[in-house]
Homo-oligomer: A and B are copies of this chain.
Amino acid sequence: MALLALDWGTSSLRGALLAADGTVIEERSFARGILTVEKGGFPALFDSLFGDWMQPGTLCLIAGMAGSQQGWLEAPYCPCPAGFAEIAAGLAWVDQNRIAIVPGLSIEKQGTPDVMRGEETQLFGALQRLGLHDACMVLPGTHSKWVTVTDRRVTDFSTWMTGEFYALLREHSILARTMPAFSSTNNAAQTPALEPAAFEQGVAHALRGDGLLHTAFSTRTLSLFKRLPEEALPSYLSGLVIGEELKCQTLPSGQTVVIIGSETLTVRYALALRQIGVPVQCVDGSAAWYGLRAIADTLNHQ
């Protein structure tokens, strides 16, 4: 049975047509995140972009913000611990046995909820692809997720606003004044060429420092005292925020950390984790397709 796999996020929409064995037959992507879709406009947009892939018997599974309150159909969060069975049971059916939205995950700790939506599909895909039952995973991004998997179920996770803090400091803070110009319309400028030495200096300073509220200011003073050139400051700041994120984790000694995401970010997390002696394994964004294929297979076996 063919599977139409969609990753429908806030600002982008990716789709893949997968064969029964998981092979990607074709891929499409559009700048049609849920924020660009008017209320009630999801079915028509779906038909226009992917209707030709929906042959009789084709199943479509959709991961990401399409399942949020502002999306196509709300798929309530699945409370952890959760694995393939809980996700399959929590599917929100837009069209019974034809189109379904994958639920996000939630967890409650110390009276405070945490959530993910979209990342669950990627991490289940990585589990499937690597054949893992237990894992410590990180999904870097605007809001990074650290995830503990035990016996193929998510038993713990937490959200880290690292990417967003970086962008705020890079674009809007006093630190931006001494950095090369930032252009929000230019992705290359947003993530300038990495300078590994400056990045590692940032990671090291965060690890030995007293906290990001303080260490962030070193980006300014190192510039003021001409200890770092302008071009190196974005890499240094990136090292500071990622180093801070790592410093706050309790990493099981000797365990490999699985890093899931686009190369721009996985490269940085791999550098920082290796800097503190943690072995890593990287999985790219195709993990979402493996995840949706595995969820579809779970359905077929029920």
Contact = CB atoms under 8 A, between A and B. Distances in A.
Interface of A: 110, 112-115, 142-143, 158-162, 164-165, 168-169, 171-174, 205, 208-214, 216-218, 221-222, 224-225, 227, 241, 244-245, 247-248
A64 B115 CA distance: 45
Given A115-B221, A221-B115, A210 B110 contact: no
A54 B205 CA distance: 48
Given A112-B222, A159-B217, A161-B216, 16 more contacts: A110-B205, A112-B221, A113-B218, A113-B222, A113-B227, A143-B174, A160-B214, A161-B173, A168-B168, A211-B212, A211-B245, A212-B212, A212-B213, A213-B241, A213-B244, A213-B245
Contacts of A113: 218, 221-222, 224-225, 227
A140 to B, nearest CB: 12
14 contacts: A110-B208, A112-B221, A113-B224, A113-B227, A114-B218, A114-B221, A160-B213, A161-B213, A161-B217, A168-B172, A171-B172, A210-B248, A211-B244, A211-B248
A269 to B, nearest CB: 14
Nearest to A113: B221
Contacts of A214: 158-161, 248
A112 B224 contact: no
A173 B168 contact: yes
Oligomeric state, in number of copies?
A: 2
A251 B23 CA distance: 59
Nearest to A110: B208
Contacts of A164: 173-174
Contacts of A222: 112-113
A295 to B, nearest CB: 24
A170 to B, nearest CB: 11
Contacts of A143: 174, 217
B217 A114 contact: yes
Contact of A165 (B159, B162, B213): B213
A213 B162 contact: yes
Contacts of A112: 205, 218, 221-222
B172 A115 contact: no
Nearest to A210: B248
A17 to B, nearest CB: 32
Contacts of A205: 110, 112
Contacts of A225: 113
A185 to B, nearest CB: 17
Contacts of A248: 210-211, 213-214
A214 to B, nearest CB: 5
A244 B165 CA distance: 15
Nearest to A174: B164
A214 B216 CA distance: 16
A162 B158 CA distance: 23
